[in-house]
Amino acid sequence: MYLHTPQKGDIIELPKGASTIDFAYAIHSDIGNHVFGARINNKMVPLETEIMQGDIVEILCMDKCKPTRKWIDMCKTTLARSNVRKYLREHGNVIDKMLLS
């Protein structure tokens, strides 16, 4: 299915059932790693929202936002899942230590 970015109208191709997290990682891994929300057709939606053909998707990012293990279940694409796993492998110990403190 084909989706559009709001600024330039770039077209991003994703499989049916893809979420806003998949869309964020399709744009760039750094955007995916810092996504905190999304707008689909100018409406705020949760990260797990399934994107439909022709939607205009805007990804909202913040530096302090990071992937969580829950995201793996929300991803449809291998690209997004592998990026979340990679981030958790590289930063998981720091996150787990902060939670235990």
- Give residue-wise pLDDT tens across range 71-81: 999 999 999 99
Domain count, the chain: 1
Q: What is the CATH number of the domain that holds 44?
A: 3.10.20.30
Residue 67 has pLDDT above 80, yes or no: yes
Q: CA torsion 91→93→96→101, rounded to 10°?
A: -120
Question: Model's pTM, two decimal places?
Answer: 0.83
| pLDDT, tens only, 7-57 | 777 788 899 999 999 999 999 999 999 999 999 999 999 999 999 988 888
Tokens 């796993």 -> residue: 85
Sheet with 35-40, side-by-side order of all strands: 43-45, 35-40, 57-61
The range of the structural domain enclosing residue 68 comes to 2-100
* Contact present, 21 and 32 (Cβ < 8 Å): yes
Query: How far is it, in rounded angstroms, from Cα 54 to Cα 38?
Result: 16
Element (H, E) at 56: none
